[in-house]
């Protein structure tokens, strides 16, 4: 399912609050579980500044994501599986999709791929459909 999701979303333009790294990962969770963890955030910001205000208000990206992912039926800790993650790369926290050990993130320039050892997994979630 992740490979299909990556193919399906490759041509979508990056847009804050709609297809940024966090909402893009939430789209994958929505496909897999039927639950949109970012439903309350979509459309509430349209710039990096707005995104940063949410992170500041909620105590950082990991808190923003974990608060919305924990408790979704069918999700469980990522472990060594494929799924959605918050990771640290180049000194900052980012949302991405883990596929076969690689972290794929969505940027304004397209997908960015980091291989094992190039990022630190902070927390991740998966389900049987991913």
The pLDDT value given to residue 99: 93
- Mean residue pLDDT of the chain comes to 92
The pLDDT value given to residue 1: 86
**Residue whose C-alpha is closest to residue 83's, from 9, 16, 7, 28:** 28
> For residue range 40-69, what is the model confidence (pLDDT) as tens digits?
999 999 999 999 999 999 999 999 999 999
Both tokens of 118, joined, read: 């190039």
Q: How many domains would you assign to the chain? A: 1
This prediction has a pTM of 0.92
**Residue whose C-alpha is closest to residue 25's, from 45, 47, 42, 49:** 42
> For residue range 118-127, what is the model confidence (pLDDT) as tens digits?
999 999 998 8
The pLDDT value given to residue 76: 86
> For residue range 95-111, what is the model confidence (pLDDT) as tens digits?
999 999 999 999 988 99
Residue-number span of the structural domain to which 64 is assigned: 2-126
Between helices 48-58 and 61-69, what is the axis angle to 10°?
A: 70
């Amino acid at each position: 399912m992740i490979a299909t999701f990556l193919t399906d979303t490759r041509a979508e333009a990056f847009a804050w609050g709609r297809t940024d790294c966090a909402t893009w990962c939430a789209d994958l969770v929505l496909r897999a579980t039927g639950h949109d963890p970012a439903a309350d955030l979509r459309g509430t910001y349209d710039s990096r500044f707005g995104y940063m205000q949410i992170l500041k208000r909620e105590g950082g990206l990991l808190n923003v994501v974990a608060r919305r992912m924990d408790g979704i039926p069918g999700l469980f800790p990522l472990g060594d599986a494929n799924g959605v993650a918050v990771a640290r790369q180049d000194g900052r926290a980012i949302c991405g999709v883990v596929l076969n050990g690689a972290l794929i993130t969505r940027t304004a320039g397209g997908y960015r791929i980091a291989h094992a050892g190039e990022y630190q997994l902070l927390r991740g979630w998966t389900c049987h459909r991913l």
